[in-house]
Amino acid sequence: MDFGIKGKRALVCAASRGLGFAIAKALAEEGVDLIISARDQAKLKQSADVLSKLSEGKVEFIAGDLSAAADRKKLIGFTQSKFGALDILVHNVGGPQSKPAQSTSSHDWQEAFDKLFLPIVELNQTFLPSMKEKKWGRIITVTSLSVIEPIANLALSNGIRSAVTAMLKTLSDEVAADGVTVNCLAPGLIQTARTDELMESRRQMTGQSKEDYMVDYVASIPAKRLGDADEFGAVAAFLASQQAQYVTGQTICVDGGKRRSVH
Ligand SMILES: NC(=O)c1ccc[n+]([C@@H]2O[C@H](COP(=O)([O-])OP(=O)(O)OC[C@H]3O[C@@H](n4cnc5c(N)ncnc54)[C@H](OP(=O)(O)O)[C@@H]3O)[C@@H](O)[C@H]2O)c1
């Protein structure tokens, strides 16, 4: 199926590896012009080279830390200088630290807010006006299944990502009539470097061996396996597509059926 987004301009944040890279890859395969960002310049360049080979479109990259206001300013300036405006904006960033709620400090919450919430607000404020003017735009945000079912030891992710989801739902109402869709993609457990880190921290709480913990975890997923990053990227590409024009204000779980609630 042709998604009708060839030649559209996208910024995919935190896209040097993992889910962000998989989204960039799926968009590259659709012929979308891309800017990708992450902190590690060398890894970013490597990933941009891979994407360039897959894409008929442009692939640009800029290194920077989304938590840092100065780097966000550079990212915005770079994007405007390369593309002028954006058609597709993908919010993603590395996860916050794992902590139980009772061990979190005000500083932890501020840090998580600066990383997971503020960049979304700033990038949206910058790039939404031109999307509205053109009557076409896609805003896609990587969140987590934790916004639906809070996950033990991930108080910062549970809390801030839920706030992100509510803020974006509010925004989706405001811009739906302007042809701009705003959706969240909530991964269950998709195999990436972050998954290994998370599984290790959760396993330590149970005292189980790595193998036993994974067997138990996978048994709780109806699909009986972890997700593949390309499967996640494909859903993002659909949300960016012309065909997904009438899908907005949603959190789509990509979780092999793990979400228990029916609403
Ligand atoms: N994988 C899953 O199953 C899963 C499940 C639930 C939620 N999530 C969430 O989804 C997001 C992506 O997960 P992932 O599995 O793809 O993680 P990952 O494999 O660790 O990749 C994270 C990406 O974000 C970049 N990044 C990290 N911190 C950044 C920062 N401050 N500024 C700019 N770029 C930054 C990394 O590059 P640099 O290190 O070079 O910056 C990398 O490209 C995370 O927030 C994660 O918590 C993932």
- Identify the pLDDT of residue 193: 84
Domain boundaries, the chain: 9-187+228-254
At residue 184, does pLDDT exceed 90?
yes
pLDDT grade for 53, boundaries at 50, 70 and 90: very high
Mean pLDDT of 96-114: 97
Mean pLDDT of 147-170: 97
CA of 177 to the centre of ligand 1 (A): 32
- Identify the pLDDT of residue 211: 83
Q: Is 223 in the pocket of ligand 1 (CB under 6 A)?
A: no
Residue type present at position 88 = I
Q: Given ligand 1 and candidates 25, 35, 39, which is best to mutate, with the most ligand atoms within 8 Å of its CB?
A: 39
At residue 144, does pLDDT exceed 80?
yes
At residue 198, does pLDDT exceed 80?
no
Element (H, E) at 206: helix 193-206
CA of 21 to the centre of ligand 1 (A): 10
pLDDT grade for 155, boundaries at 50, 70 and 90: very high
218-258: per-residue pLDDT in tens?
999 999 999 999 999 999 999 999 999 999 999 999 999 99
Residue type present at position 60 = E
Element (H, E) at 122: helix 118-134
Q: Is 156 or 204 the better-scoring residue by pLDDT?
A: 156
Q: Is 40 in the pocket of ligand 1 (CB under 6 A)?
A: yes
- Identify the pLDDT of residue 197: 78
At residue 89, does pLDDT exceed 80?
yes
Q: What is the pTM of this model?
A: 0.97
> How far apart are the C-alpha atoms of 146 and 148, rounded to whole Å?
5
Q: Given ligand 1 and candidates 72, 146, 194, which is best to mutate, with the most ligand atoms within 8 Å of its CB?
A: 194
Distances (CA, A) of 5 to 26, 30, 211: 11, 7, 42
Domain 9-187+228-254 has CATH 3.40.50.720: yes
- Identify the pLDDT of residue 263: 83
pLDDT grade for 185, boundaries at 50, 70 and 90: very high
At residue 189, does pLDDT exceed 80?
yes
Which residue in 110, 114, 133, 112 sits closest to 122, CA to CA?
Answer: 114
Q: Given ligand 1 and candidates 192, 228, 255, which is best to mutate, with the most ligand atoms within 8 Å of its CB?
A: 192
Contacts of 26 (CB under 8 A, 6+ apart): 230, 233, 234, 236, 237
DSSP at 98:
P
Measured on CA atoms in the order 100, 188, 182, 78, is the torsion positive or negative?
positive
> How far apart are the C-alpha atoms of 145 and 92, rounded to whole Å?
14
